[in-house]
Amino acid sequence: MTTSSPTNPPAKAWIVTGPTSGIGHRTALQLARHGTLVLVGRNPDKLKDVEAEINAQPHGRAVSVVCDFSDLASVRRAAAEITALGLPIAGLLNNGGIRTRGTERNARGQDLAFATNHLGPFALTDELIGHLPDGAHIVFICSAVEDPERRPAVMAGFRGGRYISAEASARGEWQPGGSTRPGYDAYATSKQCNLATAYAFTRENPRLRVNAVEPGVNPGTGLEGEQNVAVRFLSRYVLTPLAPVTKYLSTPKRAARMITEVLTDESGRTGVYYNENGKPMQGSAQVRDTAFQDRVVAETRALLTKISGETT
């Protein structure tokens, strides 16, 4: 763990995963105005760069915790290190995520996108919930591509979440009839599980504020890195300037401002899924089903327990 020990830290602290690029980086810079930041990510050098950037700001304070979200042992070590900091955590932003170009695996042979996007954030949140004070915020960054009825997502090649079970997803197995584009089913399913988790955790933890955010399509961010050069050029220099006036498009700066508002909101709202404009939206019919939400959570916990038993 890389840490800096702030003197007289502010009264609140915020955990941000995936803070080294894109939306996560912009949100970290915004949240730094509200208290100490705990930056959680895989690359220690990039974490130190962001930590130094925040600590160079007036009143900026940040610490870093290295964590590979595709590795359960790493996630649990990170949770323990965060708890040991003894900071007054006001919120946790589950932002870190990836979209792979195909079927990629972690060291355990699990689907890399599902492990990184769902299993890791789920485990981190589950480990930290008992240490969060009443009224603390938990926000999951989700994606409307989980909805098979979402027209822009379908046009982009997605076919919604294809969840069979947590174990099947970890093996990289999806319901038939999915996308023909490699990696799309894994990403959509992991995001559907994020949203199902947010809804279920809302009901499990009424003392906390648990919400989800669809940050919009952010051309040129790290998630779009698998596109070819021509598409990346189009995204960065044509679509990004159009984001403020185009439905569903956004920018990391705009998304960060909205996410920060959700994380610092004192109204007490919980169980809300916000769109790219900060307005409540609905997920897919499947993810709104409480039985489905509870099944995702129960199966995920069972899988994590199994993995933990195999590694001890």
Q: What is the CA radius of gyration of the chain?
A: 18
- Per domain, the residue ranges of the chain are 13-217+252-311
Looking at the DSSP assignment, which residues form a beta bridge with residue 75? none
Domain boundaries 13-217+252-311, CATH class? alpha beta
The pLDDT of residue 44 is 98
Across the chain, mean pLDDT equals 90
Task: Supply the pLDDT for residue 311.
Answer: 73
pLDDT given for residue 221 in this prediction: 54
pLDDT score of 265: 97
- 66: enclosing H helix or E strand: strand 62-66
pLDDT by residue (tens digit) across 255-287?
A: 999 999 999 999 999 999 999 999 999 999 999
* Tokens 């919120």 found at: 91
First-to-last C-alpha distance (Å) of the chain: 22
Give the model's pLDDT for residue 11.
Answer: 78
Please choose, from the candidates 100, 103, 175, 97, the residue with its C-alpha nearest in 3D space to the C-alpha of residue 141.
Answer: 97
Low-confidence ranges of the chain (pLDDT < 70): 1-10, 218-248, 250, 312
What phi and psi values does residue 137 have, to the nearest 5 degrees?
-100, 140
Please give the distance of CA 183 from its chain centroid, rounded to a whole number: 17
Amino acid at residue number 233 = F
Number of DSSP helices (H) and strands (E) in the chain, helices first:
12, 7
Q: pTM of the predicted model, to two decimals? A: 0.89
Question: What is the predicted pLDDT for the residue at 72?
Answer: 98
CB 275 within 8 A of CB 214: yes
Phi-psi region of 59 (alpha: psi -120 to 50; beta: other; left: phi over 0): left
Q: Which of 255, 296, 275, 262 is nearest to 122 (CA)?
A: 296
**pLDDT at position 217:** 85
Residue 280 pairs in a beta bridge with 274
Beta bridge partners of 149: none
Beta bridge partners of 14: 37, 91
